[in-house]
Homo-oligomer: A and B are copies of this chain.
């Protein structure tokens, strides 16, 4: 329609005209007019086939119902969009038979990079195979934990120090029986918190009561049920640490049902500092981590590696710190 060849159109559209390849002003205008007239848009499929990259980043999150991950997705999307990339979102639940499908699907689609957020079932042999295959293909990969293997970049947070801080704080409030709602799908992912908890107790000369350490799933209902069990026992704890804020909301609810007032009868600490934790009644004391920032950093890392695959393996640390609000107070017990 512009009366020029396909190549010329390509030059004009991709702005190679600037310096690299000289295009006459009238040709450019003719092409641009035709583009507008026809509503022409280059076909990303053909571009992908030709150039080899899809301008797409895969993002896998473990739990679609936990606000913490939305913050993460938010940050990732901001950064991806800013660079003209799109996000291919997948959600997997622990033990999900889909884990394998997801990896296969992403490999098949030739995404340019992959961000693996949070736990997924690496115990599954199939998932493990899928992952190693992805690594073999040199797919830029960012993991939100210490590198499962050294090939990948990672964005992590040290929860050991803030957990010790939580324990020191709770102990200073005279809490002696401190429960833990350990609702992580992949237990090893929160080991730093578990050991910090145990070490703090030992250092304080307190016994390690296994009945205070409750493992459960990651839904709010799981947190609720776990708390019901933990708080319904004869020697109930006077403080509870929930491994994330969503579970803490379940604990809050369970405490209400048992007639326990927070923080008078029970102190409660969460992790993540999800947006709504500051609007709960009472406002939740929590270990805060900027998930949006984490998402941005993760995305930056993939994008950088996409641009330069030879980069040394990197590790970004997102700080986590205790934020004291209203859900914790002194032990007023007998």
Contacts and interface: CB of A to CB of B under 8 A. Distances in A.
| Chain A at the B interface: SS class | helix
A275 B44 contact: no
A45 B49 contact: yes
Interface residues of A, number: 53
Interface string A240-261: 0000001001101100100000
Contacts of A42: 108
B91 A88 contact: no
A44 B86 contact: no
Nearest to A98: B81
A224 B275 CA distance: 13
Contacts of A281: 252-253, 256, 281
B90 A77 contact: yes
Contacts of A67: 65, 67
30 contacts: A43-B110, A44-B108, A45-B45, A45-B48, A45-B49, A45-B110, A48-B48, A64-B74, A64-B77, A70-B70, A77-B89, A77-B90, A81-B98, A81-B101, A81-B105, A84-B105, A86-B88, A86-B90, A86-B105, A87-B88, A87-B89, A89-B89, A220-B275, A220-B279, A224-B279, A246-B276, A249-B279, A252-B281, A253-B280, A281-B281
